[in-house]
């Protein structure tokens, strides 16, 4: 195998980097172990939700208050703004329009009724919770409790009451998950049979909150159609994984990558690299029957931090970057990995590879380890995407910066 650029990973940073590089004219190949934080996230675009525990209202403005080694400071505020703008255009073109403004955070409703700060929201999740809100579940779907969500919303000052609607008879296995329910709702006829019950449950309400399961293959169209049939604004609440909005986005990225001719090797992790001097010349990955070697001029690692499997946390407190063995600062012992409080902060969540201003991994003395390796997204040191609420923003900002750095050199006019 051979490619100009190999991107390792399939999370928000890998997908955005691969698309942007391919759009810029590079020949790209993606190698991924499996799904990433599109599937495990909240289904929104977080830029900077919290700083020092306090809610951030203006994420771009707050970037200047971050430490100098934060990925936003390295990639630059302009890369964040450009990344968010690019994403909004990309998503809209893919039928997944997002609402929001890079200069102002907004609320995302969650299944617990807690309102979380985020930056861009898919339209089905973006409607304001004004007036009387009915929180409605589909009977038999166990990953959403309208009572819990409504109680949480009331705690946040929203006038919310719980309700539930029966699902029309449908062909599902002995039980069903969010994905199966979302696929059922993709079906036009199913939605027509579902709508009257939902309309009854919505009677008297100004807004209806439902779990984020309103179709998966059809993008936002099933949501828009059901909303029209019901006649009341429908707002999708974020649930625990898998994220259906994340699945919609992942599918959109896949379609775009296919259209751009990007090769894709999914389900086989990269396990090592080959080197020539300070350059990486190839990536080794598992294959169905034997190891696969993919030669490349540039390598982008978007494998995530410890949560994403890009870094292994060892029993002795050391950390290891899993593909190229890049330097990662470890801990004196494993008890330092995590904090006293589960809902507090954990040093391991912010562990990562330190990079220079061109996103190249650095050694302890601060010089690049490889001339042609870049790191993006959750793999980067200096930020905790969960605590800050910055996962998608860091992915997009560093993907944008990488696309600038690796854009093809213009051929000199002859």
Partner 1 sequence: MTPLLETDVVVAGGGVTGVAVLRDLALRGVNAVLVERFDLGTGTSGRWHGLLHSGARYAVRDQESARECIEENTVLRRIAPHTVEDVGGLFVLLPGDDEAYAGKFVEGCQASGIPTEELSAAEARRREPLLAPDVKLAFAVPDGGIDSWALLRSMAADAEARGSRVLVRHPVVGVERDGDRITAVRVHDQVAGEDRLIGCQWVVNAAGAWAGEIGRMAGVPIRMIAGKGVMVVMASRYVRGVVNACRKPADGDIIVPQHQVAILGTTSVQVDSPDDIAVPPADVDRMIDMCAQMVPSIASGRVLRAFAGSRPLYQPESEDGGGGDTREVSRTFTVLDHAGRDGLGNMLSIVGGKLTTCRQMAEALVDRLAERMGVTEPCRTATEVLPGADHGPHRLAAPLAGVERDGAYGELICECELVTRGQVRAAIADGLTELEDLRRKLRLGYGPCQAAFCAWRAAGMLSEGSGGDHLGGLERFLEERWRGQRATIWGDQARQALLNHAIYRGIFDLRGAGRPDEAAAAGLPRAEPVGGG
- Binding residues for partner 1, per CB under 8 A? 37, 40-42, 49, 53, 110-117, 140, 142-145, 147-148, 151-152, 154-155, 174-176, 238-241, 305-307, 309, 312-315, 333-335, 337-338, 341-344, 346, 348-349, 385-387, 389, 391
Residue 391 C-beta: closest distance to partner 1, Å:
8
Q: What are phi and psi of 42, to 5 degrees?
A: -90, -5
- The least CB distance from residue 331 to partner 1, in Å, is 10
Nearer to partner 1, 283 or 311 (CB): 311
Residue 76 or 269 with smaller CB distance to partner 1 = 269
Does residue 232 sit in helix, strand or coil? coil
CA distances 54 to 49, 127, 162, 278, Å, are: 8, 24, 30, 42
Angle at 112 between CA 110 and CA 113, to 5 degrees: 65
| Pick 188 or 312: Cβ nearer partner 1 | 312
Of residues 132 and 154, the one with the C-beta less far from partner 1: 154
CA dist., res. 34 & res. 19, Å (int):
18
- Report yes or no: 197 and 165 within 8 Å, Cβ to Cβ: yes
Q: CB of 273: closest distance to partner 1 in angstroms?
A: 22
Q: Which of 106, 374 has the CB closer to partner 1?
A: 106
* In the complex, least distance from residue 408 CB atom to partner 1, rounded to whole angstroms: 36
Tokens of 213: 């399961």
The answer to whether the beta carbons of residues 44 and 392 sit under 8 Å apart is: yes
Q: 214 or 403, CB closer to partner 1?
A: 214
Smallest gap from residue 312 Cβ to partner 1 (A): 7
| C-beta closer to partner 1: residue 260 or 387 | 387
DSSP class of residue 56?
Answer: P
Contact 105, 111 (CB under 8 A): no
Nearer to partner 1, 241 or 327 (CB): 241
| DSSP-derived pairing of the beta strands 207-211 and 120-122 | unpaired
- CB-nearer residue toward partner 1: 17 or 145: 145
Q: Which long-range contacts (CB under 8 A, 24 or more apart) does 56-64 make?
A: 56/105, 56/117, 56/389, 57/104, 57/105, 58/103, 58/104, 58/105, 59/102, 59/103, 59/105, 59/119, 59/393, 60/102, 60/103, 61/103
Strands 132-138 and 207-211: parallel
Residue 169 DSSP symbol = P
Retrieve residue 372's tokens.
């042609």
Q: Report, in Å, the least distance between residue 392 CB and partner 1.
A: 11
Residue 54 pairs in a beta bridge with 51
> If DSSP codes are grouped into helix, strand and coil, which group holds residue 277?
coil
Nearest approach, Cβ of 380 to partner 1 (angstroms)? 15
Q: How far is the CB of 414 from partner 1 (least distance, A)?
A: 52
Burial (Cβ within 10 Å: 0-12, 13-18, ≥19) of residue 370: middle
Smaller CB separation from partner 1, 76 or 168: 168
The distance of closest approach from Cβ of residue 274 to partner 1 in the complex, given in angstroms and rounded to an integer, is 27
Closest distance to partner 1 from the beta carbon of 148 (Å): 4
């Amino acid at each position: 195998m051979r490619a100009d650029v190999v991107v390792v990973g399939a999370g928000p940073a890998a997908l955005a980097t691969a698309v942007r590089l391919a759009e810029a004219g590079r020949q790209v190949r993606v190698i991924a172990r499996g799904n990433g934080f599109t599937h495990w996230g909240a289904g929104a675009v977080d830029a900077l939700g919290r700083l020092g525990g306090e809610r951030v209202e203006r994420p771009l403005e707050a970037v200047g208050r971050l430490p100098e080694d934060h990925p936003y400071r390295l990639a630059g505020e302009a890369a964040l703004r450009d990344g968010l703008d690019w994403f909004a255009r990309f998503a809209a073109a893919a039928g997944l329009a997002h609402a929001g403004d890079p200069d102002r955070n907004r609320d995302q409703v969650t299944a617990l009724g807690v309102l979380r700060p985020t930056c861009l929201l898919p339209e089905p999740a973006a409607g304001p919770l004004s007036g009387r809100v009915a929180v409605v579940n589909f009977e038999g779907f166990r990953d959403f409790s309208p009572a819990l969500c409504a109680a949480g919303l009331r705690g946040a000052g929203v006038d919310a009451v719980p309700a539930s609607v029966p699902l029309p008879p449908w062909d599902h296995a002995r039980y069903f998950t969010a994905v199966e329910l979302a696929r059922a709702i993709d079906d036009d006829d199913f939605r027509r049979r579902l709508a009257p019950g939902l309309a009854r449950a919505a009677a008297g309400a100004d807004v209806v909150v439902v779990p984020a399961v309103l179709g998966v293959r059809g993008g936002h169209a099933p949501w828009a159609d059901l909303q029209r049939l019901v006649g009341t604004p429908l707002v999708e609440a974020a649930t625990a994984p898998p994220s259906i909005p994340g699945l919609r986005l992942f599918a959109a990225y896949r379609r775009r990558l296919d259209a751009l001719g990007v090769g894709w090797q999914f389900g086989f992790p990269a396990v090592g690299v080959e080197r020539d001097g300070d350059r990486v010349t190839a990536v080794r990955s598992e294959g169905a029957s034997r190891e696969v070697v993919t030669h490349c001029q540039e390598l982008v690692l978007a494998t995530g931090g410890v949560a994403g499997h890009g870094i292994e946390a060892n029993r002795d407190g050391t950390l290891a970057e899993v593909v190229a063995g890049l330097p990662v600062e470890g801990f004196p012992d494993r008890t330092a990995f995590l904090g006293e409080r589960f809902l507090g902060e954990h040093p391991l969540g912010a562990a990562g590879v330190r990079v220079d201003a061109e996103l190249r991994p650095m050694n302890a003395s601060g010089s690049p380890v490889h001339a042609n390796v870049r790191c993006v997204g959750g793999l980067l040191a200096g930020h905790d995407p969960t605590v800050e609420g910055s996962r998608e923003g860091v992915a997009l900002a560093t993907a944008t910066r990488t696309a600038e750095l690796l854009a093809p050199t213009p051929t000199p006019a002859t």
